[in-house]
Amino acid sequence: MIDFTFTEEQELFRKAAREFAETKIAPHVPTMEETNRGWDEVIKELAEAEMIAITIPQEYGGLGMGYVARLIALEEIARVSVATAMMNQIFGLGIEPFIKFGTEEQKKKYLPKFATGERLATVAVTESSGGSDPKGCRTKYKKGNGTYLLNGRKCFITNSHTADAQVVLAVDEDNPDVFTTFIVEKGMEGFTPTHEEHKVGMRGCNTGEIEMKNVSVPAENVIGGEGKGLKVAMAAIGDVGRGGMVGCALGLQQACLEAAVKFSNERILYGKPISNLQAIQFKIAEMKIDLEAGRLLGYRAAAMQDKGERSSNEFAVAKYYTTEAAQKAAKMAVDIHGGYGCMEEFPVTRYLRDSYVLGPSAGTSDIMKVIISRWALS
């Protein structure tokens, strides 16, 4: 028997997340848009509302609520601010390797502080050569006596400047087939967040580069075991990273739909609201169809994840579908607004810009198709 309904508790999670987004995050959006900053205040809000603690097990100070709850929270936050949902989803992505692959000592040391927001996490895989081919990684490590020496650069790293602990993928200098992930911490000598990006959308969500010059990382900071780096990075990105992007996309779709409905009911043309015109109705119908279908794909994958099942393929489908649909929805919402859709006082312009950042994050649509076709052909 399949039950497609949310539980009473999940409905309360949604209500709590929506109230949080509307009262605590919405006031920060104008500053984020104008300055491409404001993340310190937003992170404080996220931490106070326990939004960073959702997936962290209760024994390590988190809420242990799982991935459906995470998706609900991200969807509601993204409905108000995709930039905020994005930074929160990447905190979750950074936390995931600690939950799945961390030693007991690592879990005890890091997770309670991640849960309170006292420390923040991210994952650093992508390099200038690309993010979807982690084997092309050029950040190298050299094993020493109880330490590892890291050298290299990572780019397009969300939370690059805000994260205190970054799970960095590197390749063994002496063996190009061996990849390992390391916990690189703010303050380690030779580790520097460098260039800050100015993205077309998701303004106020920190993205940038990090540089490692002879960073000496102690052996206890290896996460997942030496040589297991690809598994660690891909497991985090495949399930949690893509799952997070689905939350961002669904929230944006919902925002586009609401904006389109509101505007089309208020805008009078030929003496009637334009929502009476079939051309507009069909656009709204398409947005609604995509949103409903995307939710089914996304929440199905998250429910599988909660059951401990492998869900990366299902999330690849959901990520492809929802991020494409979000771009489509944003364009249609802008189109429905006519000339007003070009004016920045209308949020649809932000939605359109944000929608174009959804695609490449955690793997482009074409990469999703590579994964999906591999799944179908296997």
Partner 1 sequence: MLNIVVCVKAVPDASIADKLKIDPITKSLPRLDIPLVINPLDSHALEAALQLRKKYGAHITILCMGPPPAGNIVRECLALGADKGILLTDPAFAGADAFATAYTLAKAIEKNGPVDVVFCGMASSDGATEWVGPEIATFLNMPVVTMVREIVEDQGDEWIVKADYEHGHRKVKLKLPAIITVTRNLNQPGALSFSGILKARSKEITVWDREKLEIPADRVGLKGSPTYVTEMTHLERQRKVEILEGSLQEKVERLVQILSDAGVV
Beta strands 147-158 and 207-218 are: antiparallel
Out of 2, 3, 5, 8, point to the residue binding partner 1 (CB under 8 A). 8
In the list 29, 47, 54, 83, the residue contacting partner 1 (rule: CB under 8 A) is: 54
Bridge partner residues of 148 (DSSP): 143, 217
Going residue by residue from 59 to 98, which x/- string records binding to partner 1, judged by CB under 8 A? ----x-x---x---x-------------------------
CB of 112 to partner 1, least distance (A): 14
The number of residues that bind partner 1 (CB under 8 A) is 19
The single residue among 29, 43, 47, 50 that binds partner 1, judged by CB under 8 A, is: 50
User: Is residue 354 within a helix (H) or strand (E), and if so which, with residue range?
Assistant: helix 347-358
Q: Which is nearer to partner 1, 45 or 172 (CB)?
A: 45
**DSSP code per residue over 192-247:** EEEEEP--SSSTTS-EEEEEEEEEEEEGGGEES-TT-HHHHHHHIIIIIIHHHHHH
- In the bound state with partner 1, the residue whose beta carbon lies nearer, of 65 and 362, is 65
Cβ at position 74, least distance to partner 1 in Å: 13
Q: How far is the CB of 12 from partner 1 (least distance, A)?
A: 5
* Interaction pattern, residues 9-48, with partner 1; x per rule: CB under 8 A: x-xxx-xx--xx--x-------------------------
What is the DSSP track for 145-207?
SSEEEEEEEEEEEETTTT-SEEEEEEEETTEEEEEEEEEEETT-TTEEEEEEP--SSSTTS-E
String of DSSP letters for 17-32: HHHHIIIIIGGGHHHH
Build a one-symbol-per-residue string for 297-336: x at contacts with partner 1 by CB under 8 A, - elsewhere: ----------------------------------------
Least distance from partner 1 to the Cβ atom of residue 344, Å: 27
Residue 88 Cβ, how far from partner 1 at the closest point, in Å?
13
Q: How far is the CB of 11 from partner 1 (least distance, A)?
A: 8
Q: How far is CA 154 from the centre of its chain?
A: 17
**Interface residue with partner 1, options 32, 49, 74, 85 (CB under 8 A):** 49
CB of 21: closest distance to partner 1 in angstroms? 11
* Residue appearing with tokens 């802008």: 334
**Shortest gap between Cβ of 333 and partner 1 (angstroms)?**
21
* CA-wise closest residue to 21 among 349, 254, 302, 306: 254
Long-range contacts of 31-34 (CB under 8 A, 24+ apart): 31/204, 32/81, 32/83, 32/84, 32/203, 32/204, 32/205, 33/203, 33/204, 33/350
Question: Looking at beta carbons only, is 137 or 302 nearer to partner 1?
Answer: 302
Cβ proximity to partner 1: between 55 and 181 the closer is: 55
Q: Which residue has the tokens 């002879």?
A: 214
Q: Which are the contacts of 251, defined by CB distance < 8 A and separation ≥ 6? A: 74, 75, 76, 77, 78, 79, 80, 82, 85
**Residue 259 makes contact with partner 1 by CB under 8 A:** no
Which residues sit at the interface with partner 1, rule CB under 8 A? 8-9, 11-13, 15-16, 19-20, 23, 49-51, 53-54, 63, 65, 69, 73
